[in-house]
Structure 1
Amino acid sequence: MLIDLHTHTRPLSWDSYLDPDELVERSRAAGLDGICLSEHDFFWKPEEILALAKRHSYLVLPAIEINTDDGHILAYGLEKYVYGMHRSHELAHHIDEAHGVMIAAHPYRRQMPWYIESELDYQEALERAARNRAYQYCAALEAINGRGSDKENEFSQRLCELMAMPGTAGSDAHARIDIGRCATEFERRITTIEELIEELKANRFRPVELVKAATPY
């Protein structure tokens, strides 16, 4: 089962060009079985997500991308933003109370060196990234980001290997061209947010690249 765990729509994500109905329609056309709406620091109202899912007879699940002091975190299982969630340890506390789960989004950001002189430098950058405080609370790292370059996603994948952590994939869709680039393939059928959380915690999934991003390198 293919689910895009990382998408953005307007108006809740100010930088997105995607209408929610269009995202659903194009995700279905791309062969995806479901999506998570993970707006920047904003939650959808539960009744609005249910209405969107019902309108299209399609799996739409709630999520959020939270900007923390340690990077962006995808959170599943929460229902409202509480002040202090910008601190990863406080976010983790709320996640634990809600029996939810956290995934580190695009871990290459602010951690991958732009200029690498040697493999030793690269390895040291990976080891620095592995010390990110937020990762101890995460069930997985986003190994493939649909808007990341091959080099950026390679850094994320090598970080997964170094930390012995599973990897997910999400399009991070903000525009039509982003939809369907990648997704997370789950072994079992998922119909609710609770089932999604259970499968993420059980590590019954793998990242799948579907269409390569058009990047300059």
Structure 2
Amino acid sequence: MSDAATRVDLHVKVLDERVVERAREAGVDVLVYAPHFTRLPRIRARAERYSTDEVTVVPAREVFTGDWRNRRHLLGIGLSDPIPDFITYEAALAEFERQDAAILVPHPEFLNVSLTRAEVSAYRDRIHAVETYNAKLFDPQNSRGRRISELFDTPGFGSSYAHLRGTIGAAWTEFERDVRGEDGLVDALRDRVDRTVVKQTDPATTARRLVEFAHLGFENSYGKLDRLFLSGMEPTNPRHIAYSGRFDDVAVY
């Protein structure tokens, strides 16, 4: 890429040497790494470990707000302090704002894990971008994001949302300036810098997207059930000792 533009995959869940190499091969300059149920210090350490001269890895958190039946996901980029999952939506939003993070809405109106159109409308002045293309999802789901982005004049973004290595390079957001560093990316999102969502439509990418979508069933059933109820307290539980009781009054579990 030239110095005038940057390709950013704004949401990935997997990270290792092969992931970074796939990103480099696809021409992606920045990966935003936001794995589930992982505290910010660990995310930041892994991001630093796997960043290279060609691919910058930016740490982020996709926070699960609300309870298991009524959860709303928020993606925060540019965080300085850890934020737990399973606190109220308002508490998470306020904490993102306290840290001057860029606040993104992943996969809007998808199942019961996303902000609805009405919720985006109500909070649009506090939200910096809405996902308009998610490679893990398909046209009916992604078209909702595009409509919401247009209806409320909120910038869009695209991502591979890769939980599997093969999906890296399936989509990205191309900004019209250099945003390779964490601060530069946060500023670009908060300042609504012009960007283009790019997606790959070749047969091999489509096949990998189908595999990702199939993985979604496990991820949202036994995978999270095991983490929530069978494996003990997760490190991002708001009552975990790591948070020193700061979030006890807004915890839903």
Write the distance in 1 (CA, Å) between the matches of 2:165 and 2:58: 19
Give the RMSD, CA atoms, in angstroms. Answer: 2.7
> What residue is the counterpart of 2:62 in the other structure?
65
Write the distance in 2 (CA, Å) between the matches of 1:184 and 1:170: 7
Write the distance in 2 (CA, Å) between the matches of 1:45 and 1:39: 8
Write the distance in 2 (CA, Å) between the matches of 1:195 and 1:65: 20
Contact 2:29 2:180 in 1 (8 A): no
Contact 1:6 1:35 in 2 (8 A): yes
- 2:21 corresponds to 1:25: yes
Contact 1:108 1:153 in 2 (8 A): no
> What residue is the counterpart of 1:206 in the other structure?
195
Q: Which runs of 5+ in 1 are unaligned?
A: 10-18, 112-125
TM-score (norm 2): 0.68
Structure 1 residues 135 and 72, CA gap change in structure 2 (3 angstroms): farther
Write the distance in 1 (CA, Å) between the matches of 2:133 and 2:43: 28
1:129-161 Cα offsets, whole Å, 9 max, x none, are 233566553211011111110121111101111
- SS of equivalent to 1:108: coil
Contact 1:130 1:163 in 2 (8 A): no
- 2:163 corresponds to 1:162: no
1:148-205 Cα offsets, whole Å, 9 max, x none, are 1012111110111111211001110011331111111111102321111100011113
Structure 1 residues 195 and 170, CA gap change in structure 2 (3 angstroms): same
Identity %: 26
Q: Which runs of 5+ in 2 are unaligned?
A: 1-5, 211-253
> What residue is the counterpart of 1:121 in the other structure?
none
- SS of equivalent to 2:34: strand
For residues 26-45 of structure 1, what are the structure 2 equivalents within 5 Å? 26-42=22-38, 43=40, 44-45=42-43
Q: Which residue of the other structure, out of 42, 49, 56, is the alignment partner of 2:47?
A: 49
For residues 50-199 of structure 1, what are the structure 2 equivalents within 5 Å? 50-54=48-52, 57-69=54-66, 70-83=71-84, 86-110=87-111, 129-132=117-120, 135-199=124-188
Contact 1:28 1:34 in 2 (8 A): no
1:89-131 Cα offsets, whole Å, 9 max, x none, are 21122222211111000003027xxxxxxxxxxxxxx9x6233
Structure 1 residues 2 and 134, CA gap change in structure 2 (3 angstroms): same
Write the distance in 1 (CA, Å) between the matches of 2:126 and 2:176: 23
- SS of equivalent to 1:164: coil
Write the distance in 2 (CA, Å) between the matches of 1:20 and 1:86: 30
Write the distance in 1 (CA, Å) between the matches of 2:13 and 2:156: 20
Contact 1:36 1:62 in 2 (8 A): yes
- SS of equivalent to 1:39: coil
- Count residues in correspondence: 193
TM-score (norm 1): 0.78
> What residue is the counterpart of 2:8 in the other structure?
3
Contact 1:89 1:134 in 2 (8 A): no
- SS of equivalent to 2:35: strand
Contact 2:174 2:198 in 1 (8 A): no
